[in-house]
Amino acid sequence: MTGARSAEIRVSEIFGPTIQGEGVLIGLPTVFVRTGGCDFRCSWCDSLHAVDSRYRDEWRAMSTEEVWREIAKLSGEEPVMVSLSGGNPAIQPLGDLIRRGHGEGYRFALETQGSVARDWFADLDVLVLSPKPPSSGMETDWDAFDACLRMSRDKPRTVLKIVVFDEADYAYAKTAAARYRQLPVYLQPGNHTPPPADDDEASIDIEGLMDRMRWLVGRVTEDKWFGAHVLPQLHVLLWGNKRGV
């Protein structure tokens, strides 16, 4: 029984296809599998409904086959990019799902803070490592982060994505980028206004977001950091913090 349970994936939500709103795959139609549970508690987490155990009654324990069937149904059985996010999806058993989907021509991107390494990272098509800057209130364990890179064995397309709210975050991003010169960098202005998970209509400070975006573009160009991409969360601009889009 323990064996069977351990293969279950804790799922907060599966939705899409809609476009990826951020980072290296921005604009690409994607089905999202958001897993439940996280080893971090970032102060500005925009997906608390997939993190905070207050919401765990909403999470479903699903088998690989159940998750796969939902992806196949949402995509009309047409191969699509699947984004595995959370929470921290690295704490879920996703290796079988990736192999299952690959067999049907689907591709898989994983987004994780880089705190937990899995051997199935090497099976991913895209690995987005998103270390958390000082404003999150979290500390980065660079040894754990290095282990994630080792596990990926240079197989997926791997990028750094770092949320930046302020100068301290920006300095952290520069340090992280210097540490991993081989990885393309995506900087993302922080979203200060995550709504409660049960309130789709909570207002977003779009002007504040755009101000931080303009500030960050200025910061990067002043510094001649010409390898860093600066991208907002497009889905927030299009749909606010609404879930399921």
Cα separations in angstroms, 67 against 1, 12, 61, 195: 20, 11, 10, 27
Least Cβ distance, residue 118 to a second copy (angstroms): 26
Identify the residue among 41, 61, 73, 79 touching a second copy (CB under 8 A).
79
Beta strands 29-35 and 185-189, pairing class: unpaired
- Residue 87: asked if its preceding bond is cis (omega within 30°), the reply is yes
Nearest Cα to 42, choosing from 136, 124, 141?
A: 136
Considering only residues 182 to 241 of the shown chain, the ones binding a second copy according to CB under 8 A are 186, 210, 213-214, 217, 220-221, 224-226, 228-232, 234, 237-239
- Please give, one letter per residue, the 3-state secondary structure of 175-228: HHHHHCCCCCEEEEECCCCCCCCCCCCCCCCHHHHHHHHHHHHHHHHHCCCCCE
* Spatial contact of 240 and 200, defined as CB atoms under 8 Å apart: yes
Verify binding: residue 29, a second copy, rule CB under 8 A.
yes
Verify binding: residue 5, a second copy, rule CB under 8 A.
no
Least Cβ distance, residue 18 to a second copy (angstroms): 6
Least Cβ distance, residue 101 to a second copy (angstroms): 13
Q: For tokens 């088998």, what's the residue? A: 63
Verify binding: residue 181, a second copy, rule CB under 8 A.
no
- Binding-site residues, in ranges, read 19-21, 34, 38, 42, 44-47, 85, 87, 130-132
Q: Which residues bind a second copy (CB under 8 A)?
A: 16-19, 26-29, 75-76, 78-81, 186, 210, 213-214, 217, 220-221, 224-226, 228-232, 234, 237-239
- Binding-site residues for substrate, in ranges, read 19-21, 34, 85
